[in-house]
Amino acid sequence: VQLQASGGGSVQAGGSLRLSCAASGLSFSAYGMGWFRQAPGKERYFVAAISWTGGSTAYADSVKGRFTISRDNAKNTVYLQMNSLKPEDTAVYYCAADRSTYTDTWRTRHEAAFGSWGQGTQVTVSS
């Protein structure tokens, strides 16, 4: 399984970025997907997740209303649209695939629910 995250960069506060995560080596449409982030010196935290159909989503309170997760199963890609970015959004962002197919374990928002991880993409928001 390979998850390739891209789209990170440096923006000013209030700006937007769109992260992409291209998946290969798995039946993408059968897996819930998630995004996590890790700031320097901190643990990795849940950001957003989406069901295998794309019909259900979940967000951390800190990003709700600003970030939108979506997926295109035809392209084996999950996205994270990030608007109204704040300096506290600065982190390495990781995409991840649910540990099992056709399950709702992604709803737990726990790292342990996700079995495959991408390499991360850096997002830096300046004030």
What digits encode the pLDDT tens for the residues 50-106?
999 999 999 999 999 999 999 999 999 999 999 999 999 999 999 999 999 999 999
Sign of the torsion angle spanned by Cα atoms 26, 51, 78, 45: negative
Residues in the chain: 127
| Residue 35 CB coordination number (10 Å) | 26
Distance CA(2)–CA(17), nearest Å, equals 22
Distance CA(120)–CA(94), nearest Å, equals 4
Note the pLDDT of residue 106: 94
Alpha-carbon distance values, 10 to 48, 64, 80, 87, 99 (Å): 21, 21, 16, 10, 31
